[in-house]
């Protein structure tokens, strides 16, 4: 006699896929002219930071007559003043497409332009932050970083070329990669999570842990660089599809209000945010630990960062001890949903532990 069983409520979900074209291959940058033309664009503005001007100029040269030049005004945390200047420049040169080559700062600038103009973006990531796969934007104004979601800012095409990340310094590679791991980790306990994103999150964490170790051993190892970009794609996809929680709120507060470096802040805070949520999200923590090859999610992330010589303490990246109370107040003022209720004293203790660089649980 056939038996039936009740539906497992853990499999109840809603999944809406984000539309995006991804080209992942060594040498994929060479496809840039075809990808611009595929969007129906003829006047692409190449965006970058001042430090990546040469790389951006090479992309503009590759585009030839399809390019209207390079704009190298991208800045960390996307200050509103810089976003306004970039929007004005894009209008002045008649750009009909933005090519953002670089990391989160450059892709964030492209999104700031698209938010107002709906200009299509082609992202060419050279770090592992994952912003290229999301409709999330962030703009800092009057010392506060404001984030939002808008379909207009989702890059239409993403070119992942491992060759372009070989020159990324090891220290930056490590923090950028752990930043991406943070997206996947919080995706595993997201309120709107689903099985598809959970699979991608766990695999993304695993790939980045393996790839980052390989990059530290040999910075020019293209297989390791490819693992990192693959992991970044997965983790960025998770970030683009589900909501984030306490960790991201704390990092947006610390970065936007105290101008701390983005990836380093994520790297330092993540173990402590996971420790805070350990009892409230046991299945997520089990999967994070498994992906890292560790017995515990929070200590696994901390130990990975320590092994890879990443910064472990907020005090070491410029956070004044005297501002910890204000940071807690800002974070508590408009909290994100979190699996564990937000408790003021516990958040203050979390920030103190992150400031000191303690190993979670010690």
Instruction: Report the share of the chain in percent with pLDDT over 90.
Output: 91
Rounded to 5°, the CA angle 97-153-84 comes to 75
pLDDT at 362: 87
* Residue-range domains of the chain with CATH: 21-164 (3.40.50.1970), 170-356 (1.20.1090.10)
pLDDT in tens, 30-68: 999 999 999 999 999 999 999 999 999 999 999 999 999
CA separation for the pair 243, 120 (Å, rounded)? 24
Residue 124 has pLDDT above 80, yes or no: yes
Residue 7 has pLDDT above 70, yes or no: no
Instruction: Report the share of the chain in percent with pLDDT over 70.
Output: 97
pLDDT at 10: 58
CA separation for the pair 21, 83 (Å, rounded)? 25
Q: Work out the average pLDDT over 178-187.
A: 98
CA separation for the pair 276, 360 (Å, rounded)? 9
Residue 191 has pLDDT above 70, yes or no: yes
Q: What is the full DSSP assignment across 97-145?
A: EEEEEESHHHHHHHHHHHHHH---EEEEESSS--GGG-SEEEEEETTEE
Residue 192 has pLDDT above 70, yes or no: yes
CA separation for the pair 70, 59 (Å, rounded)? 9
In this prediction, residue 148 has a pLDDT band, given cuts at 50, 70 and 90, of: very high
CA separation for the pair 23, 161 (Å, rounded)? 8
Which residues, listed in sequence order, are joined to residue 239 by a DSSP beta bridge?
Answer: none
pTM for the model? 0.92
Indicate the SS3 state at residue 21: strand
Task: List CB contacts of 358: < 8 A, sequence separation 6 or more.
Answer: none
pLDDT at 146: 87
Asked which of 83-87, 176-180, 252-256 is least confident by mean pLDDT, the reply is 252-256
pLDDT at 144: 85
């Amino acid at each position: 006699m056939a038996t039936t069983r009740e539906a497992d409520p853990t499999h109840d979900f809603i999944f809406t896929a984000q539309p995006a074209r991804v080209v992942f291959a060594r040498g994929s940058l060479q496809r840039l002219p075809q990808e611009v033309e595929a969007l129906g664009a003829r006047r692409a503005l190449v965006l970058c930071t001042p430090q990546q001007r040469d790389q951006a100029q090479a992309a503009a040269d590759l585009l030839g007559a399809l390019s209207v030049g390079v704009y190298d005004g991208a800045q960390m945390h996307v200050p509103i003043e810089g976003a306004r200047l970039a929007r004005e420049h894009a209008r002045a040169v008649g750009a009909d497409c933005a090519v953002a080559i670089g990391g989160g700062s450059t892709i964030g600038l492209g999104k700031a332009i698209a938010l107002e103009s709906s200009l299509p973006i082609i992202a060419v990531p050279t770090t592992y932050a994952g912003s290229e796969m999301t409709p999330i934007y962030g703009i800092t104004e009057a010392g506060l970083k404001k984030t939002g979601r808008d379909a207009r800012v989702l890059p239409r095409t993403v070119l992942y070329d491992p060759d372009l990340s070989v020159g990324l310094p090891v220290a930056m590679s490590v923090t950028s990669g752990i930043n991406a791991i943070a997206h996947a980790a919080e995706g595993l306990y997201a309120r709107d999570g689903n099985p598809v994103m959970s699979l991608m999150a766990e695999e993304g964490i695993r790939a980045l842990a393996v790839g980052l170790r390989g990059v530290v051993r040999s910075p020019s190892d293209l297989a390791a660089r490819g693992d990192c970009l693959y992991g970044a794609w997965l983790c960025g996809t998770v970030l683009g599809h589900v909501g984030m929680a306490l960790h991201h709120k704390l990092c947006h507060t610390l970065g936007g209000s105290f101008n701390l470096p983005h990836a380093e802040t994520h790297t330092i805070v993540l173990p402590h945010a996971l420790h805070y949520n350990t009892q409230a999200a046991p299945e997520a923590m089990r999967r994070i630990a498994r992906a890292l090859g560790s017995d515990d999610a929070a200590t696994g992330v901390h130990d990975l960062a320590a092994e890879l010589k990443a910064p472990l303490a907020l005090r070491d990246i410029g956070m004044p001890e005297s501002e910890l109370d204000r940071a807690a107040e800002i974070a508590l003022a408009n909290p994100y949903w979190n699996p564990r209720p937000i408790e003021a004293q516990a958040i203050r203790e979390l920030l103190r532990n992150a400031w000191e660089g303690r190993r979670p649980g010690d």
